[in-house]
Amino acid sequence: MKYIFPLFLSFLTVTAPAQNIQPFVNTRLENSVLDGAWWGGLAIYTNNPQEEIFSVNPDLRLTPASTLKLLTTAAALETFGPHHRFKTRLYASSLPDEKGILKGDLYLQGGGDPTLGSKRVTGAETWQAVVSKWTKAVKKAGIKQVEGNIYADVSAFEGPSIAPKVNWENIGNYYAAPVSPLCFNDNSFKIFFKPQPLGAKRAEVSYTDPEIAQLKLKSFVTTDAKNKRDNAYVYGAPKQYEMEIYGTIPTNFTGFSIQAAMPDPALFAAQSLHNALREEGIAVGGHAKTLSDAPDYTRMTLLHTYQSPELKDIIVIVNKRSFNLYAEMLLRQLALQAGKKGSLQNGLEELKKFLQKNKLATSSDAVIYDGSGLSRDNMLTPRVLVNTLSFMTQSPHFAYYYQSLATPDDRGDLLLLRYFLKPKHQVQDVRIKGGTIDGVKAVAGYVPDKNGNPIAFAMMANNLASKDETLLRIHEDIIKQLLQTGQ
């Protein structure tokens, strides 16, 4: 593959003398937005990592927010390789008899594909298209009637489906959707509200997409004529079908929608297949159920294997779109690859092994509770992020890692640097991963200096009192200064 640093032509051969910009950084950090807050940052040349360009509290443990995804995706890419695909298999407990009757059950074996039934990733298909393929596979096997049940096998994972340190107000919303070895439709659904053109009025739920059996929604949402943003939060736990919605949505004449976490995505997948078979005239005598103990698949008939897009395309969504669910799924895939159950704890153990094996972090440098950075209790030093970025430049898979990061003008990563770099002739050479949760703003990535030499950097602010974008502008100013370093 052709190397993808357009300006980093001297990447492997030249060691650039570091131009220290410490005074500039110190001056920018005097802004009142950082009063009472903590800030740490570090920048190095990746081809001369011992020489620091600037350094402020590089070994201070700080909450990284979504910059933590840089570690999870690095570990996944190094463990599986960029072309790995995750598999979901459909089995029949036996062959049908001469009348086409399956005197047994169908099994959906969850293999931990994060993208099953999602259109977020290039090459993925909608959940309806996936169900259609399963249905066709059943018909092709000559099955005209299923006497038993349709099981969603979730035995590959165990333990909590949401990291325990995630804030309660996030649970129930799509960005904190529970993991499942049988993910489906990004484990989320849309809630549509009835049109409401007047402010301060109760917003009533119109319908959901997809429709979920047994779901009961109670809306306490009101409309806000002065706010154009979605400020509604869904409260509900995994496998809980009674959910409440609070907050505000904009007034509107056509209806408004928000996204919520699906209570049990594996069960929804089995129910969808159950319904599709019946619509095709294939009677199903039993019910859709989940199964936590794996059956003996060696005695069964494999009807279909569904493969995910390649990992290189999945990590683009994790990093560029900062999608939490896929990061959490990849964390658990690290455990499965190590021959363990896909639990949160086992995934964290494998991630820590990766960091320590490659000398990216010690046990005290990285205190990690999830794979996405959603927990406020995660702690990393800026040096861990920079170490990881620098390490990946030596990987044979680096091109894919680099391309998974956002550029300031690709409208990725929550528009973190949407006012950055005018004119934009240098934009394509900046790659970033941002992170924002309450009181936290962080950014890490790569920039070239004025001679094209690659710089890895990380900047993290914690305990911010203000939610405005002043801190983002400070980070931008420092990145611009990095672009002008070099002698």
State the pLDDT at residue 422: 54
Choose which CATH entry (3.50.80.20, 3.40.630.30, 1.10.760.10, 2.40.33.10) describes domain 87-158+264-309: 3.50.80.20
3.40.50.150, 3.40.710.10, 3.30.450.40, 3.40.50.300: CATH of 22-83+312-483: 3.40.710.10
Cα–Cα distance, 451 to 423 (Å, whole number): 18
CA distance 210 to 476: 41
* pLDDT score at 19: 65
Low-confidence ranges of the chain (pLDDT < 70): 1-19, 409, 411-428, 487
The tens digit of pLDDT for each residue in 55-86 reads 999 999 999 999 999 999 999 999 999 999 99
CA atoms within 13 A on the CB side of 207: 3
277-313: pLDDT as tens digits: 999 999 999 999 999 999 999 999 999 999 999 999 9
CA 441 – CA 456 distance, rounded (Å): 18
pTM: 0.94
CA distances from 379 to 61, 240, 329, 444 (A): 5, 31, 20, 15
Spatial neighbors of 288 by CB under 8 A, at least 6 apart, are 149, 150, 152, 267, 270, 271, 273, 274
Q: What is the pLDDT of residue 426?
A: 58
Q: How is the chain split into domains, by residue range? A: 22-83+312-483, 87-158+264-309, 187-261
- pLDDT given at position 13: 39
Distances (CA, A) of 281 to 12, 131, 134, 332: 63, 15, 14, 38
| Equal fold, 22-83+312-483 vs 87-158+264-309 | no
Provide DSSP, 70-135.
HHHHHHHHHHH-TT---EEEEEESS---TTSEESS-EEEE----TTTT-SSSTT---HHHHHHHHH
